[in-house]
Amino acid sequence: MNRAKQKLLSIVFASLLLVSCDKKEKEAEVRKKPEPPKPAAVSMLSLVPDDTIFFAGGLEPVPLKEALQWTAAHFKLSDELLHPQDMEKLGAEAKSDGQRILLQLWQAYMETAAAPDAQFASWGFAEQPQLVSYAVGLAPVLCRISLSDPEQFKKKLAGLEEKAKVTAAQDGAAGTASFRRYALTAAAATPAVSLIIGVDGKEAVFMLDLGVDSEQTLALAFGQRKPEKSLEQSGRLKVLRDKHKLHPSWLGYLDHQQIATGLTTKDGNRMAKMLQLLLPQASKETAKQLADLQNEGCRSDLQEITAKWPQTFGGYTEFDLKAQPARLNSLLVLESTDQPALDSLQSLRGFVPDYVRNAAGPAVFSVALGLNMDNIAPYLTRQWTEFTQKQYKCGFLQEMQAEAKTQNPAAAGMAAGMAAGVRGLSFSLFSMTMDKAAAGGFALPQQLDAAVSLSAKDPMALVRTASALLPQLAALQLSADGAPAQVPAPFPFPLTAAVNGSHLTVYSGSAGEQAAKSLKAAALDSSQGFLAGSMDYSRYYSLLEELLPIEDGKNAELKTAVAAMKQVDLRMTTELDFTSRGIEMTMNVLPGLTVPAADPAAAQAQP
């Protein structure tokens, strides 16, 4: 090979080497170059207007399939309880496509709740979806839920339409979202209300269209337009979660101030604007009532009231289905910033036995009212005086005030005075054995294990007062040292009465006696509250089943429902009380508890 060719080959080889090296360097650069960030998922809360009058949902996804599985395991819904024959009858009586599809949706939901393992996938829902409900003005977005398979959801909806014999549903679109419209009102009705079910990307939307401002409302509900200010931007849910220790997946509120603004202004929020569009279609009486609210006097009065009682909020404080036993505790609060009003309400609280509040306790059913009767008359007088002397400017409040002035609380105060010193009343049923009733009759108790307590500053004074009114009670011969006395009564089981400390008790059975004696050391201020109760679902409905008339052919549906409910493996306590944050109700649920021999004192020591 001559020298020229060698030189040419050297140049070509060097060029290829340079290209190869350059390519490898560029490939390395490409590999090292960070990938562009993926767009962040749009939170549902960014689609919820901050001026919504209500919200239910959460900051995080919910374990929906797991919750349905847990419910099915503990409630054991039977096919009979679903009443398909009744659904068919209601479907035949439905006068619109919207009514028919709603009935079909309800039946499909019940079937899914009864058998989530078999039915859940048919909806196309995500197993842990984000799930919210709110309002766009007056139009409720009943549910917005994440989908794992939008096409499966559309297929499910088509199947439900076929079962419901829906014939006139209309296709619609809002930007990139598609939906089906089902009329709920007659064709000539105004406003024309429709049920809307559709898909926005990977989310399903169920809502009501009220027939006014529909284009804007649907654009907001289906995420084609963003609200001026969203719930995500306001941070309101995070404040609720952190301040009241609510579970981030399950919380919500009803906004009293937004409702007042909607009723008393013409454009103060989206509700007000939509209400103005609906007014021409309302009856003359309704239109006049709403127009009467839209003056400066009503606006001022209602804003002052709702500033003191701004919202009702609630949610789960504990939600753990994997715990043993599962924890399902919830809270609902009518919130108030009116401290004098709360102080007055709290003055009514009386004595509630601890064992009534115990979800793990032995009772089939318990209820207690804690009420300080000495404070009833002052409370009623104070509230009446404050209301009747207030200078209201709003017409309907002035009418209520005039009516209140004709009612004097003195009579109620006198009635309360007859029970001076009383702090509470409670009843607990631990067990009851029924006899076999004749056909068509009711079963009667043969054995009773129960306790009734009347708590008071001086229970013996109450006994003397009662004996004066009912002379037959004088034979009881009760004493303050707790010595029991037999109560004369026409029952096949004995009733015993005794004064245990500050509590007059009447009881029967060993558990009833233990409950009565456990109160002996309980001071009246040791367990304060207003209203509390507990129930063992299975034992309660088993007892109710025995109480029902047994005549064949009657009460068949009621018996079916009771038979299903006695399979429910839950114990629940509820409590209504007056606290520093308002009027609140708590509900605590414990599943799968087997309660041994009743011992109220021991039950109180359980965690």
Task: Kindly tell me if the per-residue pLDDT of 534 is higher than 70.
Answer: yes
The pLDDT assigned to 194 comes to 95
The pLDDT assigned to 253 comes to 98
The pLDDT assigned to 222 comes to 96
CB 229 within 8 A of CB 49: yes
Q: Is residue 32 very low, low, confident or very high in pLDDT (cuts 50, 70, 90)?
A: very low
Cα–Cα dist 159/171, whole Å: 16
Least trusted range by pLDDT, from 180-194, 257-271, 426-440: 426-440
Q: What is the phi/psi pair of residue 120, to 5°?
A: -60, -45
> Interhelix angle for 296-308 vs 284-293, to 10°?
70
Average pLDDT over residues 207-211: 95
Residues of the chain above pLDDT 90, percent: 60
Cα–Cα dist 256/260, whole Å: 6
The pLDDT assigned to 77 comes to 62
Cα–Cα distance list, 597 to 61, 167, 255, 361, 570 (Å): 42, 60, 47, 10, 18
Token digits for 199? 């898909």
Q: Is residue 36 very low, low, confident or very high in pLDDT (cuts 50, 70, 90)?
A: very low
Average pLDDT over residues 252-277: 96
Token digits for 328? 């399902």
Q: Where are the alpha helices (DSSP H) in 138-185?
A: 150-164
CB 568 within 8 A of CB 541: yes
The pLDDT assigned to 601 comes to 46
Count how many Cα atoms sit within 13 Å of the Cα of residue 522 in the half-sphere of its side chain.
29
Match 């209400």 to its residue by tokens.
275
Please state the separation of Cα 290 from the chain's center in Å: 29
What average pLDDT is seen over the chain? 85
Instruction: Encode pLDDT of 348-360 as tens digits.
Output: 999 999 989 886 7
